[in-house]
Chain A
Amino acid sequence: MVHALREVHRVMAPNGILVDLRPLDDRWPVEVSSARESREVGRLLDYDFALSSDRAANHAVEQIAAERRFEREREEYFPFLYYWDTPNEMQEYIADEWEDFNGLDDPTLQSARSAWAIGGADSRVRIRMKMLITRWKKMA
């Protein structure tokens, strides 16, 4: 990752801006949501690979900052929501797309199914992902 950031530094013009936009694993909340209300029914599991990837990315940006290639100008967290019509669709997606990163335990899945089943016709399930956005300025 540090090598990639050094490459980005190379191809950027003087005073160029780098935006780092990425999810941070943080036991993301699983919620059942409708127009009327939203409520948390559990949280995803973070697997070691996800946590070590976040650590490696954080280390890489601190390394390039220490090398004085980029200077951090601004940073914020914000939510990024994934929605599914049913708990089963959510379960399938997580198993297919996030299998190395996150898991859904049985109690959370059961809670999602129960809350979704008694919810309104417009009830959906969602995951509230934690996102990090950082703006860096290229230094000399």
Chain B
Amino acid sequence: MVQKDPEGNETKRLHTFVDFTGRRVLEIGCGDGRLTWQYARKALSVTAIDLEAQDLRLATIDRPSDLAGTTRFVRADSIHLPFVKEKFDLAVLAWSL
């Protein structure tokens, strides 16, 4: 079984680069939410998108109950984002470019 980044290098670096506190976050390429859970509690809201329905299902199942009101998973393509302009303060391209 694979173990990814047990040292937490990615999370540490992400929080060094940006403060999520109170931000409206768009995550592109969220997959099963592996990265989402590392910052979602700090954000004001999180909209996490991916094209893979199975991954989004897993993310929704894994979503802690206290994040249900602020973190949502949406099946969407980054080429046509189904959101109005200027909706987000912070966007994360999560291994998706």
Contacts and interface: CB of A to CB of B under 8 A. Distances in A.
Interface of A: 1, 3-5, 7-8, 10-14, 16-23, 57, 60-61, 74, 76, 78-85, 89, 93, 131, 133, 135
Contacts of A3: 79
B78 A4 contact: yes
B93 A12 contact: no
B65 interface: no
B10 interface: yes
A131 B35 CA distance: 14
A89 to B, nearest CB: 7
B79 A80 contact: no
Given A17-B18, A21-B95, A12 B86 contact: yes
Tell me the interface secondary structure of chain A in the complex. Answer: strand
A93 B89 CA distance: 36
A58 to B, nearest CB: 9
B81 A16 contact: no
B17 A133 contact: yes
Contacts of B66: none
A99 B35 CA distance: 23
Contacts, number: 116
A20 B10 contact: no
B18 A80 contact: no
Q: Size range of the interface on B?
A: 35 or more
Contacts of A13: 24, 86-89
Nearest to A54: B97
A93 B81 CA distance: 32
Interface string B56-97: 000000000000000000000011110111111111111111
A80 B1 CA distance: 17
B89 A80 contact: no
A88 to B, nearest CB: 12
Contact of B13 (A4, A5, A18, A78): A78
A69 to B, nearest CB: 12
A13 B90 CA distance: 8
Given A78-B13, A85-B1, A89-B2, A19 B92 contact: yes
